Amino acid sequence: MMYRDHQLTEDGKLKHFLSIEGLNKTLLTEILDLAESFTSLADHGRAVKKVPLLRGKTITNLFFENSTRTRTTFELAAKRLSADVLNLNISTSATSKGESLLDTLRNLEAMHCDMFVVRHASSGAAHFIANHCAPHISVINAGDGSHSHPTQAMLDMLTIRQHKSDFTPLRVAIVGDILHSRVARSQILALNTLGVTEVRVIAPRTLLPYDARSLGVHVFTDLHEGIEDVDVIIMLRLQKERMTGALLPSEHEYFNLYGLTEDKLHLAKPDVIVMHPGPINRGVEMDSAVADGKHSVILEQVSNGIAIRMAVMSICLGSRPEHQRREETA
């Protein structure tokens, strides 16, 4: 709840998109509805696959951490809305973050940017920037440390809704590296806010946070038990770059115990969908037969990522309170 005030305007509209935390079902549904209508821009009949909604706005991708797919989909989303896009890859050497970051911000503000899309290896970086940037700027969190990745969670929700229409009766299993996953935290919050019946997390004990249950989930350490009768399976990537120490015996053993294969998939509901935020480690998190199989919706997730980012960008930039807009034009 601590972020509620940071993300919303006085009249309860989304100004920044930093975390699923503090957003109610109505707001999340609005994002999904708008994203749904943006998906129609990819229709074959359209000669021009963009709309002039954010014409004249400047959106800056501030990536302190590399991520080709996320950066590309944010860039494409901004361009489909006719915004101008600036891509900045800023390396985070061992600077004392506070000072240098603020200097960067002041410089970007001087270039008259309207939105920062922030990706950072430290939890809370996007919130920090939202707190310290000029009042007319909106900030979108594109992943901060192991804290949250709200647009990824929302594109997953959109994909689930397109296949299952109603969230209420669903049982959803999230499998893999829950401990290091900002995606999992955001997904759990979003699923519970949208009112699914059950969220399960499935992982070896070493990859579960010690307070997993407090997230509002049922915890399983056995994949067979965990995916029984679920409607949705979300596989997470093994975050090798975030792992320190001996959390796993080997990738091979991980695959034997937690890798998704067609055999294991039979335990879930017959119309189960399989998701993965990418990039997939084939033969570690899942078999190629599953990744490319009929239950997989992984590539739909990528397309939906553009629509969700378009929705969040246009909601944030369209919800500035009146007095702020007056100041801008003054």
Partner 1 sequence: MVEQVTQTAFMQENAILDLIDGMASQLKRQLQQNGISEAAMIGIHTGGVWIAEKLHEKLQLAEPLGTLNISFYRDDFSRIGINPKVHPSNIPFEVEDKHIILVDDVLQTGRTIRAAMNEIFDFGRPASIIYATLIEKDGRELPIQASVVGLKPMLKQNDYLTLKGPSPLSLVIGRKLSGGDSEA
Contact set with partner 1 (CB under 8 A): 13, 30-31, 33-34, 36-37, 39-40, 43, 45-48, 50-54, 311, 314-315, 317-319, 325
CB atoms within 10 A of CB 112: 11
- Shortest CB 41 distance to partner 1, Å: 8
14 DSSP β-pair partners: 8
Contact between 274 and 265 under an 8 Å Cβ cutoff? The reply is yes
Cβ closest to partner 1, residue 31 vs residue 260: 31
- Shortest CB 287 distance to partner 1, Å: 36
Task: Give the Cα-Cα-Cα angle 69, 70, 72 (nearest 5 degrees).
Answer: 65
Cβ closest to partner 1, residue 157 vs residue 223: 157
Cβ closest to partner 1, residue 40 vs residue 197: 40
- Shortest CB 310 distance to partner 1, Å: 10
Residue located via tokens 């033969």: 283
- Shortest CB 170 distance to partner 1, Å: 22
Cβ closest to partner 1, residue 51 vs residue 215: 51
DSSP 59-128: EEEEESS--HHHHHHHHHHHHHTT-EEEEEE----S--HHHHHHHHHHHHHHTT-SEEEEEESSTTHHHH
Residue located via tokens 């320190």: 244
- Shortest CB 324 distance to partner 1, Å: 11
Calculate the dihedral angle through the C-alpha atoms of 195, 12, 16, 109, rounding to the nearest 10 degrees.
Answer: 180
Enumerate residues 6+ apart whose C-beta is below 8 A from 261. Answer: 286, 287, 289, 290
User: Comparing C-alpha atoms, which of 101, 137, 153 is closest to residue 122?
Assistant: 101
Cβ closest to partner 1, residue 139 vs residue 291: 139
Q: What is the largest CA-CA distance in the chain?
A: 65
- Shortest CB 53 distance to partner 1, Å: 5
- Shortest CB 33 distance to partner 1, Å: 5
For residue 222, give both structure tokens. Answer: 């056995």
- Shortest CB 96 distance to partner 1, Å: 37
Contact between 303 and 39 under an 8 Å Cβ cutoff? The reply is yes
Cβ closest to partner 1, residue 11 vs residue 241: 11
Cβ closest to partner 1, residue 50 vs residue 163: 50
Cβ closest to partner 1, residue 53 vs residue 267: 53
Cβ closest to partner 1, residue 39 vs residue 159: 39
- Shortest CB 27 distance to partner 1, Å: 9
Alpha helices per DSSP H over 195-239: 223-226
Report how far apart, in Å, the C-alpha atoms of 44 and of each of 65, 301, 306 are.
35, 19, 17
Sign of the alpha-carbon dihedral angle for 196, 317, 46, 73: negative
